[in-house]
Structure 1
């Protein structure tokens, strides 16, 4: 005991001799560090909010771009995030043209909006200066995959995987999984996505992609679990409900399909896809009046939202017309058919729908 007392006294005397210094206050966390921590926890909204106002360097721009791209696939109405990612990355690259992380962010953003050749060029410029830049090589893999060069995409993705850190693992594993999936190796794609989910279980895009490959294998139960995983993390998610609507319809679970589809239209009344699947389900169940009305809503929304003709869901017009014909509703049938003909004359579309010059059977054209 005496030794302890003497030891404490000696330590106190040494502190007095050199002057007492107050403990150093903890340094406040920088926005970049806080954003990285939020991203690592799967809080994409938090990471984006912390960085969006002023991504000061390439590293911040790269993290913000990744967060925006992942969030864009998490819900039905977030495609705008990919455009935002491109705008931000382009601006940071303009201000910091020598910053390799900024250039890699630009490559990722270009790939996400479908500009695959530009993305590949941007990624190659980074790799010429830094062959070990993992995110640039990941962007190159994604660009190759988007352009249909799936073997090249897999090669680049595997090379990136050899160099990736734990924080880069999600992006790399996802890129390799998408390459495997594009090559028809759905089981391997699922295995890789499971690894990615292990690293960041809150990124919803991974569950949607896992469900897609499960459906390719005919594993409906696994796909259903993935969609419920999304709802467990995002209870208001509309995209997951639409996928469950599709899945239930495919399995001929009619009541469940109607319930999910109806919920989609209630939560997202301006989303044409919800009205299409609800109308289609009514059509399959023989409720042609409800089918006609819901499919009309689908068609009208696409027109009101100025969806390019080549991108419109043709089935909203065709099935609506078929339902009207079954009901003997000639006015609706002819109006719908004429609207389709007008669209077909204004743009090149793949689908065809034609009647004899005199009009549909039982509904002569006037």
Structure 2
């Protein structure tokens, strides 16, 4: 940075010659005006030098802070600052955009942040009710709608915006993501490419383009594109998670590991990344590392069924069927207690738990688990199947449960 220093070269000298007599009025006024001008010029110079007269508008100052936080990946601060702005000015579009996007990206950053997408939907719904004709608000709402799994509504709203402003990047991005959500991958690619052409450094558009490439199996292009997004904001954790996913599709475990450790660097307490490292270590048959990472998950997030499933699965692969049964039981129990919808449950928690119990000769656990699975299969159409003969598991025919004795 170059610092321009301005220096005055005023000299203060005593007058050696004195004139006697009265000074004429015109001369006196001229001197007075000159001195006054020098004072004004000096004050203006000081103001410029020390920023004494800086007049940043509240809107500019307030928007700059959350934007800077977002650019640094500090989504918590960005969200807090944007909310403070919106408390005083609910219709501040810039703050609304920062808040919405920060909520969406934070929702992908860890296992327990999905609620942020619901909050973002509430925010944009309220804004749209206040400003139904504002195309920026419509684009934001479309962006959120596709994120919460409502792609048809998102696409319709995005098209409304694009009919007015064909170069609206966020609307085009929301449209691309919506098409991708319903399996129209070629159209999604075309729309995301147009979005990037409008603004080549827009993170949302670049991410949408990377997802489009991935949906079409072009994983190398997906990585190249997500790298461009990361170059613009390398602290958005969601981007690193997605890069690791694309790398895994190419079988590049090293690149995936580097991406995951970027997350660990920026968020040392992140639980989701430990689950991903457990899965990756399991694939690489690094059993000790896999167990270690999964145990960290269950210690930090004991209410997350996914961690118990992965830990139980890893024990099952290692032949420790007692530990597998017990950890998978935690997985199935948590899902029932939390009333997880049937379509979202890990049915492997029941099946593998039953298999471990059968290997151990634990008929009570096996029959209980099997009957729970059959009840769920009756209540909902699920893809997983697990069947025994009508009389039940062969090794447990005639077994009487403890409660019935």
TM-score (norm 1): 0.94
> 1:78 is matched with which residue?
113
Distance 1:281 1:255 in 2: 10
Pair 163,329 (structure 1): closer, same or farther in 2 beyond 3 Å: same
What secondary structure, in the 3-state scheme, does the structure 2 residue paired with 1:51 have?
helix
Q: CA deviation at 1:100?
A: 1.3
> 2:403 is matched with which residue?
none
> 2:67 is matched with which residue?
36
Root mean square deviation of aligned Cα = 2.1
> 2:237 is matched with which residue?
204
What secondary structure, in the 3-state scheme, does the structure 1 residue paired with 2:395 have?
coil
Specify every segment of 5 or more residues in structure 2 that has no aligned partner in the other structure, as ranges. Answer: 1-7, 13-30, 401-405
Specify every segment of 5 or more residues in structure 1 that has no aligned partner in the other structure, as ranges. Answer: none
Distance 1:283 1:216 in 2: 25
Pair 17,253 (structure 1): closer, same or farther in 2 beyond 3 Å: closer
For residues 278-331 of structure 1, the C-alpha deviation after alignment (integer angstroms, 9 at most, x for no partner) is 000111111100000000000000000000112110000000000000000011
> 1:57 is matched with which residue?
92
> 1:15 is matched with which residue?
38
Q: Which of 283, 288, 309 is the aligned partner of 1:255?
A: 288
Q: Are 1:176 and 1:189, in contact at CA under 8 Å, matched by a contact in 2?
A: yes
Distance 2:61 2:36 in 1: 38
> 2:373 is matched with which residue?
340
Q: Are 1:275 and 1:297, in contact at CA under 8 Å, matched by a contact in 2?
A: yes
Q: Are 1:143 and 1:153, in contact at CA under 8 Å, matched by a contact in 2?
A: yes
Q: CA deviation at 1:364?
A: 1.5
Superposed, which structure 2 residues align to 1:99-248 within 5 Å? Answer: 99-164=134-199, 166=201, 169-248=202-281
Q: CA deviation at 1:18?
A: 7.5
Q: Which of 100, 125, 128 is the aligned partner of 1:93?
A: 128
Q: Which moved more, 1:60-69 or 1:335-344?
A: 60-69
Larger radius of gyration: 2
> 2:20 is matched with which residue?
none
Distance 2:40 2:83 in 1: 50
Q: Which has the higher contact order (CA 8 A, sep 6+)?
A: 1
Q: CA deviation at 1:349?
A: 1.0
What secondary structure, in the 3-state scheme, does the structure 1 residue paired with 2:392 have?
coil
Q: CA deviation at 1:25?
A: 4.6
What secondary structure, in the 3-state scheme, does the structure 2 residue paired with 1:195 have?
helix
Superposed, which structure 2 residues align to 1:293-304 within 5 Å? Answer: 293-304=326-337
Distance 2:323 2:163 in 1: 59
Distance 1:135 1:207 in 2: 21
Distance 1:188 1:79 in 2: 28
Pair 50,11 (structure 1): closer, same or farther in 2 beyond 3 Å: farther
Pair 280,20 (structure 1): closer, same or farther in 2 beyond 3 Å: closer
For residues 52-84 of structure 1, the C-alpha deviation after alignment (integer angstroms, 9 at most, x for no partner) is 352433332222111111111110111111111
Distance 1:106 1:223 in 2: 32
For residues 215-271 of structure 1, the C-alpha deviation after alignment (integer angstroms, 9 at most, x for no partner) is 000000110110000000000011100000001111111100000011100000000
Distance 1:255 1:171 in 2: 38
Distance 2:133 2:301 in 1: 43
Q: Are 1:289 and 1:327, in contact at CA under 8 Å, matched by a contact in 2?
A: yes
What secondary structure, in the 3-state scheme, does the structure 1 residue paired with 2:64 have?
helix
Pair 98,256 (structure 1): closer, same or farther in 2 beyond 3 Å: same
Q: Are 1:59 and 1:102, in contact at CA under 8 Å, matched by a contact in 2?
A: no
